[in-house]
Amino acid sequence: MTVRAGLVGVGPVGDRIVRCVRERSFPLSKPLRVMATSARTEILGGEQIQIQETRAELFEGLDVVFFAGREGAKGASVQWAQTAIEGGAYCIDNGSDFRLDPTVPLVVPEINMDEVSEETRLIASPNCSTIQLVVALAPLHRAAGIKRVVVSTYQSVSGWGQAAVEEMERQLPACLRGNPVECDPSIFARPIMLDCLPHIDRFMADGYTKEEMKMVDETRKILSEPDMPITATAVRVPIPLGHSESVNLEFEQPITREEAMDILSQAPGVVVIDGPTEDPAAVEYRNDPQELQYPTAADIYEDRYKDMVLVGRIRQDNTIDNGLNLWIVADNLRKGAATNVVQIAESMLARGIIG
Ligand SMILES: NC(=O)c1ccc[n+]([C@@H]2O[C@H](COP(=O)([O-])OP(=O)(O)OC[C@H]3O[C@@H](n4cnc5c(N)ncnc54)[C@H](OP(=O)(O)O)[C@@H]3O)[C@@H](O)[C@H]2O)c1
């Protein structure tokens, strides 16, 4: 079985989709048809790729289209998804425009792939910070019933697109020289370099940000728990890639640290990095015989972790009945975006929906 696939959008997410399709040997019948707002040649996923200006006839003959454009009325999926569907394609969208539409499934293949059928022409992929959260939460919820979630994030600048990566890189030299840092307030409200900004996306009337409410609303939708109490604080940190999350969970049923470790170790898409450190020098250097291993955003550069959700610091929360704390890390551009949409297409292929 082979698939004719297209891609709209060539920012960091589009770049990773090109890589994922190649690395995962997604069975393309012809090279990916790549579109953006203008025609040009660019290096994407390490290859020189011909990009075409998006227009209706380019969607003809495609089985599946990955959308990695911008959101809103002038965004890629709002402008072009219907045209792609009319041309016969299934659309898988990284953007937020359709995520909360009750007629559009919001899919993480490890959790709710069964919501996709032949009739599902448009599929939404969740926000990066939501994907890594739910991949770890879903198996624990099945085991012990989550009663409440408190999550704080530490999100890399690439989560805000290529312009944000360039803005951080531009601020670095002045910062290192101790000079005042100029900042483009259309990207970050304040200089991001050497600081942490509790401000991702726009503020809402109640003081939460849209990013925080995406995590709340999308997690509820994916877990089919519309009333689950979830509260979030989303923080931008000056690192290029990888989101980390500190998560406090309260459960209906008792669940020990060991049970949670066991469940997560067997959960699809999860790698547990916890327990005694494997660094033989750690005890000597830091004189800490209790030292534990844990994941950080630096780990996602390792091939074996780049498409996985890494979980560590699994601890009992002794201030409440049935409480746990977790630390969750993933590559926001891979499992948080590109890998997830390619995995959705792989599952559609395996189920005979495409191909
Ligand atoms: N970054 C993340 O961690 C992350 C994670 C999950 C989901 N997402 C979502 O994934 C999408 C892409 O993210 P990104 O960070 O790669 O964004 P980005 O750097 O802003 O790139 C957006 C790309 O979309 C193209 N585009 C925008 N509007 C278009 C239109 N109307 N028609 C055709 N092409 C259009 C742009 O074309 P030009 O190059 O020609 O301007 C550009 O190549 C966004 O919706 C984002 O919210 C991002």
To test the pocket of ligand 1, the residue of 15, 33, 37, 128 to mutate (highest count of ligand atoms within 8 Å of its CB) is: 37
Backbone angles phi, psi at 310, to 5 degrees: -100, 130
Residues 114 and 135 in one domain: no
**pLDDT value at residue 15:** 96
Residues 225 and 293 in one domain: yes
User: Domain for residue 66, yes or no?
Assistant: yes
Give the pair of three-digit tokens for residue 346. 């792989």
Tell which atom from ligand 1 comes closest to the C-alpha of 333: 3
What are the E-state strand segments in 228-317? 230-233, 243-251, 270-272, 309-316
Residues 175 and 258 in one domain: yes
User: Domain for residue 342, yes or no?
Assistant: yes
Tell which atom from ligand 1 comes closest to the C-alpha of 14: 16
- Give me the domain span that covers residue 284: 130-332
List the catalytic residues: 128, 243
Tell which atom from ligand 1 comes closest to the C-alpha of 131: 6
**pLDDT value at residue 283:** 73
DSSP assignment string, 176-231: HTTPPPP--TTT-SS--TTS-BS--S-B-TTS-BHHHHHHHHHHHHHTT-TT--EE
263-308 pLDDT, tens per residue?
Answer: 999 999 999 999 999 887 877 788 888 899 999 999 999 999 999 9
For residue 273, what are the contacts with CB-CB under 8 A and spacing of at least 6? 293, 294, 295, 299, 310, 311, 312
Give the pair of three-digit tokens for residue 191. 């200089």
In whole angstroms, give the CA distance from residue 72 to residue 134. 25
CATH of residue 162: 3.30.360.10
Q: What is the CA radius of gyration of the chain?
A: 21
pTM of the model: 0.97
Residues 150 and 251 in one domain: yes
**pLDDT value at residue 145:** 98
In whole angstroms, give the CA distance from residue 247 to residue 264. 14
> Atom 2 in ligand 1: which residue has the minimum CA distance?
159
User: Domain for residue 228, yes or no?
Assistant: yes
**pLDDT value at residue 40:** 98
Residues 107 and 163 in one domain: no
80-117 pLDDT, tens per residue?
Answer: 999 999 999 999 999 999 999 999 999 999 999 999 99
**pLDDT value at residue 287:** 83
> Atom 47 in ligand 1: which residue has the minimum CA distance?
95
Residues 203 and 342 in one domain: no
Residues 177 and 255 in one domain: yes
Q: Whose CA is closest to 7, among 129, 113, 94, 127?
A: 94
Cα-to-centroid distance, 236 and ligand 1 (Å): 19
User: Domain for residue 180, yes or no?
Assistant: yes
Cα-to-centroid distance, 264 and ligand 1 (Å): 32
**pLDDT value at residue 27:** 97
**pLDDT value at residue 170:** 95
Tell which atom from ligand 1 comes closest to the C-alpha of 79: 31
Helix (H) or strand (E) run with residue 113 in it? none
User: Domain for residue 168, yes or no?
Assistant: yes
Residues 143 and 173 in one domain: yes
User: Domain for residue 37, yes or no?
Assistant: yes
CA 326 vs CA 138, 248, 295: distances in Å: 13, 7, 11
**pLDDT value at residue 199:** 98
**pLDDT value at residue 97:** 98
Domain count, the chain: 2
Tell which atom from ligand 1 comes closest to the C-alpha of 243: 3
To test the pocket of ligand 1, the residue of 16, 70, 168, 187 to mutate (highest count of ligand atoms within 8 Å of its CB) is: 70
Using CB distances shorter than 6 Å, the residues near ligand 1 are 8-14, 35-38, 54, 68-71, 74-76, 79, 94-95, 127-128, 158-159, 161-162, 332-333, 336-337
Cα-to-centroid distance, 126 and ligand 1 (Å): 14
Cα-to-centroid distance, 16 and ligand 1 (Å): 12
Cα-to-centroid distance, 69 and ligand 1 (Å): 3
CATH of residue 30: 3.40.50.720
In whole angstroms, give the CA distance from residue 317 to residue 339. 32
Residues 159 and 256 in one domain: yes
**pLDDT value at residue 279:** 83
For residue 59, what are the contacts with CB-CB under 8 A and spacing of at least 6? 6, 65, 80, 83, 84, 87, 89
To test the pocket of ligand 1, the residue of 7, 8, 13 to mutate (highest count of ligand atoms within 8 Å of its CB) is: 13
Cα-to-centroid distance, 13 and ligand 1 (Å): 7
**pLDDT value at residue 288:** 84
213-250 pLDDT, tens per residue?
Answer: 999 999 999 999 999 999 999 999 999 999 999 999 99
Tell which atom from ligand 1 comes closest to the C-alpha of 127: 6
User: Domain for residue 185, yes or no?
Assistant: yes
Q: Are 297 and 239 in contact (CB under 8 A)?
A: yes
Query: Which residues pair with residue 232 across a beta bridge?
Result: 151
For residue 338, what are the contacts with CB-CB under 8 A and spacing of at least 6? 13, 16, 17, 19, 20, 68, 94
43-90 pLDDT, tens per residue?
Answer: 999 999 999 999 999 999 999 999 999 999 999 999 999 999 999 999
109-156 pLDDT, tens per residue?
Answer: 999 999 999 999 999 999 999 999 999 999 999 999 999 999 999 999
Residues 122 and 172 in one domain: no
Cα-to-centroid distance, 334 and ligand 1 (Å): 14
CA 340 vs CA 38, 258, 292, 347: distances in Å: 26, 28, 30, 11
Among positive and negative, which fits the CA dihedral 195, 200, 205, 206?
negative
Residues 161 and 277 in one domain: yes
Residue 1 has pLDDT above 90, yes or no: no
Q: Please count the other Cβ atoms lying within 10 Å of the Cβ belonging to residue 252.
A: 12
Q: Please count the other Cβ atoms lying within 10 Å of the Cβ belonging to residue 152.
A: 16
> Collapsing DSSP states into helix, strand and coil, what is residue 112?
helix
Q: Whose CA is closest to 248, among 187, 306, 132, 328?
A: 328
Residues 141 and 278 in one domain: yes
User: Domain for residue 355, yes or no?
Assistant: no
Residue type, position 263, single letter: I
